Chains A and B, each alone.
Chain A
């Protein structure tokens, strides 16, 4: 177990180094100069030069890579070119929206998907099953930005139940803040819930057809009892894997939804930073996201092996 963990830790470190190189050098070839973006079309050449010097853009690529990476290791993400404040502060400010939004959407996903998936699986082949599965097909196929727009039209403009977007901040009160995140969370959750419900259903059907369930049915358990006592727990493994993937997707993949609802989240920060050539922000945030996913994967792998040592040879 320890040897396995160490080996995985080694490849994790290599992955991180490779990721940092890929991120830094793909972004370094991005055409466009942050200084000329900031100073606009009337700037004088010597003014641009002064700003480039101030931003530290005149150092060589290798120097800048090294100072960036050492910064990352020590927890210093650098200073944003355009905002001129520490990247870690900016990111923290965005995370207090992105993280709750992702969690909120994930909770909605689970709350919708579990009952729907179980219902469809237990009533397999029935009209309910067909209707529910048809619904999830639609949910998977609908482009979520389009769905979000329709939601805004209905709930913000026509019914006026919710505001059209924006985030009042957590200091405005928990309920107020949660309310502001509700429509975006629903828009994010719908396709994810559809996917998860489908996974839930097929995973349940898989386990229900396993021999030990048949045995327990033969021993006199009702279908529902068999489901609750045995099938559900075993069916959860693939479901949990999907949930893990979905969380990281929701964290970084909400850019478009953040735009539709003008939420100042992490995705929009990066999107804006790319267009302003605030490369240090882009590099650090992408690195952070990659780091999070890699570490989560590492922990998940370890957990699997811990649960079932046979898996060690199968990763």
Chain B
């Protein structure tokens, strides 16, 4: 429980920062003030200024927006495509369709994800959108596999058998009886993939393949500031901690949710 509260609080902090940044930031993050560069944290700039004299707090807030948006949409892609695929595979377990879906899953898993992300951006150019696609693709097999596994065990339950006997089709059973019972699992998995998405977005933008300037992103802030570490440590520490704390928050929340929602694991945790 403690984990859950701490996790949700941390996550909420960054989500709030991101939301507030739509209407207000301490400074305009697109305005450069070169004469005011590399100022350590002070009363005017709580997190100091970067190498162009931009306000780091403002950039962290807007950067949160980028990170969260990329990760959420990527999870959305994973759920939107992965869950139906998993349900289908489970409903027609053992069929050719099942085989094709699961083998394609394995195939996607077999590709080195960062390399594929780099390839995608080489084809379509670096942008937040392409980062989403690159991360999202690898979420599909995760959700498909998790969904299929859980759905398979649900298919043996009595109430599903009852529905079957009453003549409902497999598709209908999947949606009416299986899917609602998968919600807890999907929430937990979604949180985990969300946090992985934040890390992946940071890595991609760190190598220059994420959102493009002037849109701030945490990974790029780190990449651009690291040669200045000894001169002005604050400009790498703040984005670094932003990533660390967001991911930490999401992981704690994910673990907490699992303990709360999954009775089997709760028994273990007790």
Q: Show the binding face of A for B, using Cβ within 8 Å.
A: 11, 14-15, 18-19, 26-27, 29-32, 137-138, 140-143, 145-146, 149, 153, 157, 202, 205-206, 209, 248-249, 252-253, 255-256, 259, 267, 270-271, 274-275, 282, 286, 289-290, 293-294, 297, 313, 315
Contacts and interface: CB of A to CB of B under 8 A. Distances in A.
B23 interface: no
B99 A11 contact: yes
B110 A26 contact: no
9 contacts: A29-B123, A140-B251, A141-B244, A141-B245, A143-B202, A143-B203, A146-B240, A146-B243, A270-B118
B206 to A, nearest CB: 6
A206 B113 CA distance: 31
Contact of A149 (B226, B243, B267): B226
Contacts of B247: 140-141
Given A137-B248, A137-B252, A205 B119 contact: no
Given A18-B107, A253-B112, A255-B118, 5 more contacts: A146-B244, A259-B207, A274-B119, A286-B112, A289-B112
Interface size class of B (residues with CB under 8 A): 35 or more
Contact of B236 (A146, A286, A294): A146
B103 A145 contact: no
B122 interface: yes
A19 B248 CA distance: 35
Taking each of B110, B240, B247, B267, which has the highest tally of chain A beta carbons within 10 Å of its own beta carbon?
B110
Interface string B106-118: 1101111111001
Interface in B58-94: 94
A252 B119 CA distance: 14
B103 A255 contact: no
B132 interface: no
Contact of A271 (B118, B230, B244): B118
Contact of B267 (A140, A209, A274, A294): A209
Contacts, number: 117
A46 to B, nearest CB: 28
* Chain B interface main SS type: helix
Given A138-B244, A143-B243, A15 B203 contact: no
A32 B121 CA distance: 13
Contacts of A275: 122
A157 B123 CA distance: 38
Taking each of B103, B115, B120, which has the highest tally of chain A beta carbons within 10 Å of its own beta carbon?
B115
B147 interface: no
B115 A286 contact: yes
B240 A143 contact: yes
B187 to A, nearest CB: 18
B206 A143 contact: yes
Given A145-B222, A146-B240, A149-B229, A15 B107 contact: yes
Contacts of B269: 205
Nearest to A149: B226
B140 to A, nearest CB: 14
B122 A274 contact: yes
A138 B115 contact: no
B106 to A, nearest CB: 6
Contacts of A209: 267-268
A294 B114 contact: no
B119 A138 contact: no
Contacts of A142: 244
A141 B226 contact: no
